[in-house]
Amino acid sequence: MTTAPAPVTPEASPQVVIVGAGPTGLLLAGELERRDVSCLLIDALDAPQSWDRATVVHPRSMEIFEALGLADRFLDQGVKVRAARFRSDGETLGERDHGLADSRYGFDLGVSEEVTESVLTANLERHGGGVTRSTRLVGLRPRPDGIAATLERNGERREVLTSWVVGCDGFHSAARELTGIEFPGTDVKAPWAVFDATLEGWDEEFDVNAAYLDSPPVILTPLPGRRWRVYLRPTSDTSDLVADAAEVIHRYKPEVTFAAVENPARFHCHSRVAARFRSGRVLLAGDAAHVCSPAEGHGMNTGLQDAFNLGWKLAPVCKGVSGPALLDSYEAERRPVALRVVESGEAVEGGQAMTAKDDRAARDAVIRETYADPESAHHEAVAAAELDRSYADCGAVMGDTGNGVAPGYRLPDTLPVHPAAGEPCALHELTHRPDHTLLVLGGREAAPADVLDLVTALEAAHAGSPVVGAVLGLCTRMAGPPIGRIDESVADQVGIEHVTLLAVRPDRFVGFRHNGQDPRALQPYLEALTR
């Protein structure tokens, strides 16, 4: 006969309880604390992991870190990976040039996950937050005024009251299971394996990912200090991982040997997406919401983007500025991305698993053709960088489309501007703030006065707005303060002829566009944010 646990007395807690202090949870907690929303970030581990297998930070994640003022910290501790080279059956099939990705970060960054976590932990602490360790979520109980979360530490339980719970606690998410959200998908039968090593006798670049699509497949990912993280499909449950990888590498480079091997481990991967990303006052992000093949390196990066998307939406809800309906757009925007990532990972898994000679030859021919064609090579680079995500069909954006940057699309980061105050910069840098930035842009047919009139009207209408951080004006014609200048090439790329208003969200996606000079046109969008 078991003894029922002693009654737990609820206690007050921060506005949000975040479960799981991996990269997703750390970024979300830092974003909420930056916006003055109190968080309790818990993690079951007694201390941060000293090693984890995630390695690659993609360009879109670097753009997020730039917006948070963290890009230099990552660049100081990582290695720029400029390309990925694909080989099979002794031949080079093609090379993906990360510089084609339409980002100032024309590279992947090779950096181990524990470094990512340390930078994000320092960022969280800088904003007054921290991690409560050795603590597990063991219960959730809805209440009229929020939700009660039962936490367990060292065998003792306590119940805290909070407004929202966010599960960032991985594949075995307690938040997801306690909420009853289904996690459909498949478990990949063939295991993966990983280890870190130095490659003695390596005579190629140390800044190029090397993917050997042989049997078994082996992927070499650069790390700082000319080290490599080696991913492979082991030949058996008991095989020597180093020998498995060496057998493949020696087909191309017989003289190369693995040295200083560290952290060998086997693991299983999964292809699953949660049926919902929100159930009442519980939300899911990162691996709690979706898991995919590690072959493309999208897992951690997709979780970081979840956190950035959710952070700017959850903060105004917690402050009473926006209603809970704003959080519906989180699932509407991020779940389709997760489905796409998982589907892509399954396709890669299938391609790597091919053993029949004819099937492998057909696969290799497709890869050759893809990277030989400039258009498809560009498409592959943009997709790998995660810069082709769009929220245009998710219902949370609105306005005119035009021939350039439409609502739901990311504002490009390679557009030079000359602001009224400060040094020349890229257009997106003007939007690095926790709230929306209103950009009034004048094209060839606009005079500076046209831009200034709309800027003045918007400033008067939205002074003190809790969701508008700044109103800025730029024009292709020469202008003095407060109107800056944009090049005509910028106006062409954004699709501006006369005057266009862009409401750029904190995550740098365009939430609203108006091709005209009516300040009232913005009102329905702002009302949707605050109702």
pLDDT tens digits, one per residue of 85-117: 999 999 999 999 999 998 999 999 999 999 999
Q: Which of 13, 150, 120 is nearest to 57 (CA)?
A: 120
For 31, 263, 265, 351, 379, the CA distances from 241, given in Å and listed in that order, are 40, 11, 9, 21, 34
| pLDDT for res 4 | 43
CATH 3.50.50.60 domain residues, the chain: 10-55+112-186+271-352
CATH 3.40.30.120 domain residues, the chain: 398-530
CATH number assigned to the domain covering 192-268: 3.30.9.10
Cα separation, 41 vs 135, whole angstroms? 10
CB 242 within 8 A of CB 266: no
| pLDDT for res 480 | 79
Cα separation, 62 vs 183, whole angstroms? 29
| pLDDT for res 6 | 47
Q: Which CATH superfamily is domain 10-55+112-186+271-352 in?
A: FAD/NAD(P)-binding domain (3.50.50.60)
Cα separation, 277 vs 221, whole angstroms? 31
| pLDDT for res 59 | 97
| pLDDT for res 11 | 57
The size of the chain, in residues, is 531
Give the position of tokens 């209103």.
Answer: 438
pTM of this structure: 0.95
| pLDDT for res 188 | 86
| pLDDT for res 13 | 79
Q: Which of 271, 217, 292, 223 is nearest to 57 (CA)?
A: 223
Report which secondary-structure segment, H or E, holds 266.
strand 257-267
For 59, 66, 251, 301, 450, the CA distances from 334, given in Å and listed in that order, are 18, 21, 42, 12, 37
CATH 3.30.9.10 domain residues, the chain: 192-268
Amino acid at 210: A
pLDDT of the chain along its 531 residues, tens only? 334 444 455 555 799 999 999 999 999 999 999 999 999 999 999 999 888 878 999 999 999 999 999 999 999 999 999 999 999 999 999 999 999 998 999 999 999 999 999 999 999 999 999 999 999 999 999 999 899 999 999 999 999 999 999 999 999 999 999 999 999 999 988 899 999 999 999 999 999 999 999 999 999 999 999 999 999 999 999 999 999 999 999 999 999 999 999 999 999 999 999 999 999 999 999 999 999 988 888 999 999 999 999 999 999 999 999 999 999 999 999 999 999 999 999 999 889 889 899 999 999 999 999 999 999 999 999 999 999 999 998 888 999 987 899 999 999 988 899 998 889 999 999 999 999 999 999 999 999 999 999 999 999 999 889 999 999 999 999 877 899 999 999 999 999 999 999 999 999 999 999 999 999 999 999 999 998
| pLDDT for res 200 | 98
pLDDT tens-digit map of 23-48: 999 999 999 999 999 999 999 999 99
For 168, 300, 314, the CA distances from 36, given in Å and listed in that order, are 20, 25, 12
| pLDDT for res 121 | 98
Beta strand 257-267 pairing with 192-200: antiparallel
pLDDT tens-digit map of 441-462: 999 999 999 999 999 999 999 9
Cα separation, 288 vs 177, whole angstroms? 10
Q: Under 8 Å CB-to-CB from 275, ≥6 apart: which residues?
A: 181, 182, 183, 184
Per DSSP, 39 falls in state E
| pLDDT for res 2 | 38
| pLDDT for res 38 | 97
Fold of 398-530: Glutaredoxin (3.40.30)
pLDDT tens-digit map of 144-182: 989 999 999 999 999 999 999 999 999 999 999 999 999
